[in-house]
Amino acid sequence: MTTPFRMAAAAAMACALSLPALAETAPENTDPIVINAGELELPTAVPPPAHLDGAVPEIYSGWLFRDAATQVMQTDDFQNPGMIFVDQGITEWNTVEGAAEKSCASCHEDISVAMKGLRATTPKVNKDGVLWSVEDYVNDCRVNRMEAEALDWNGDRMKNLTAAISMQSRGMPVDVAIDGPAQPFWEQGKEMYYTRYGQLELSCSNCHEDHYGDWIRADHLSQGQTNGFPVYRLKDAGLVSQHNRFRGCVRDTRAETFAIGSDEFRALELYVASRGNGLPVEGVSVRH
Amino acid sequence: MSRHAVFLAPAALMVMALAAPLAAETAPQDVVFDDFGSIAEPLSDTAGNAEQGAVVYVDRSTGNCVACHAIADRTDADFQGNIGPSLDGAGDRWTTEQLRGIVADAKRTFPESMMPSMYKTSGYIRPGDAFTGKAGTEPLPPLLTAQQIEDVVAYLATLKE
């Protein structure tokens, strides 16, 4: 928002008064993410899903808003620090645990076949009409089929597993259902997305719809897309789950947050995912 | 120290009472805005101090205005945001009364503005206890004290081109 010249005081004032609150800025380029020297190309800008109804002209990967050094780490699986955790997640997949003496692999066998596409379509409504995230599918198997204890939603073992599962959908477009049984959850998430929470009275849309591309102090705002989650965050030297990211963003509005793994965050996860319908699952993205 | 803390601490109260007559401040719920969002009366009877205001303007834990605004000569700020307009020349564009209204509760001047209300204590959705993520109890301490608002307004009034 640098104005090269100043207008006359009166004009400037009129302008300030009528200034629209929207100041979204498109990224300078929208190159795809080229993984492992061309093995896979992930588009970073695609047309928005119809339900967004013109709210944004295009949807963008969060990768576009990161600095070059961070971006490049995501283009090579040997450099991407998140891949260590993917490997640990695969080990987890194969580890026998619980009274039934089973691993995930005992029932599902090859993760690359069994889990392909799951990440691209979750959260989704299960057969009992409950909205489930990937974490819920994992814990359902652990508790009911492995007879082991549920994993902590935000713990390392769960994040490693969800990272490994996410990788099996890498390149597949996000395609969560928003109609039918999903619709009430989607509506709830949408309502949350536009609610101005906390003492700072900021909604997700204030930052990620109206002001992506702008800077909030040192932070370059993206559209807050979730297709790269769980992401590897350099600052935390570890994986970050979607719900943990949501919790951080809500906390930063000086609000009482929702709990990780709460129904509210599942609904928000569905709505935010649907804003990214069409962007490819990125497996484990890198953030600073 | 917040002014609530001052009011609660009897020792501090006494020191203040001895040093000077109690500074009179308008409580957030008593502030009178005009139809366009301006506040005619100062919120404190101690005149705003522009130098103090310049500090509040960049300070992360108080004003943090710089998260969203830029001012060309604030080379002391490590980063400046661009969510809101540049404030260069704000003192030419707005009267003191208008600036006071914008800083205290910008939504009265710019409906639906993203700018947080600095002198408001209730009416929030899921109010938190500062940045802890835990629930807060209304009335919350306002983001800025009456005096800090007067100081920031005095600073903004110096921004002339």
- pLDDT, one tens digit per residue, over B51-76 is 999 999 999 999 999 999 999 999 99
Neighbours of A232 (CB within 10 A): 27
Q: Find the CB nearest A217 among B66, B92, B93.
A: B66
What's the CA angle centered on A17, arms A12 and A21, to 5 degrees?
110
Would you call B133 and A257 a contact, using CB atoms and an 8 Å cutoff? Answer: yes
Residue-wise pLDDT tens digits, A62-97: 999 999 999 999 999 999 999 999 999 999 999 999
Asked if A104 is an active-site residue, the reply is no
Let me know: does B66 contact A218? Beta carbons within 8 Å.
no
Query: Residues in chain A with pLDDT < 70?
Result: 1-23
- Residue B97 · residue B38 · CB < 8 Å: yes
Does the distance separating the beta carbons of A250 and B114 come in below 8 Å?
Answer: no
- Burial classification of residue B130, based on how many CB atoms lie within 10 Å of its CB (0-12 exposed, 13-18 middle, 19 or more buried): middle
> For the whole model, what pTM was predicted?
0.91
The rounded distance, in Å, linking the Cα atoms of B159 and B154 is: 9
β-strand partners of A34: A41
H/E stretch holding A186 reads helix A183-193
Domains, chain B, ordered by start: 24-157 (1.10.760.10)
Predicted ipTM of the assembly: 0.91
% of residues, chain B, pLDDT over 90: 85
Q: Look at residue A203 in the predicted model and tell me its pLDDT.
A: 98
Residue A13 with chain B: CB contacts under 8 Å: 93-94
More confident residue, A5 or B40: B40
Closest CB to A216: pick one of B83, B93, B126. B83
Dist CA A161 CA A2 (whole Å): 45
Q: Tell me if A138 sits within 8 A of A91, measured CB to CB.
A: no
All residues at 6 or more sequence positions from A72 whose CB lies less than 8 Å from its CB, including other chains? A79
The Cα A66–Cα A57 span in angstroms is: 20
HSE toward the beta carbon, residue A160, CA cutoff 13 A: 15
Kindly determine whether residue B126 and residue A255, on different chains, have CB atoms separated by under 8 Å.
yes
Domain assignments of chain A as residue spans, ordered by start: 77-288
Q: Number of C-alpha atoms within 13 angstroms, CB side, residue B148?
A: 21
Examine the pLDDT at B99 and tell me if it is beyond 60.
Answer: yes
Q: What are phi and psi of B59, to 5 degrees?
A: -70, 125
Strands (E), A179-268: 215-216, 219-220, 231-233, 238-240
Query: What does each C-alpha distance from A232 to A25, A65, A225, A235 come to in angstroms?
Result: 25, 15, 15, 9
Token duo for residue B31: 């502030």
Q: What does CATH list as the number for A77-288?
A: 1.10.760.10
Residues with Cβ within 8 Å of A39's Cβ and at least 6 positions away in sequence, in order, are none
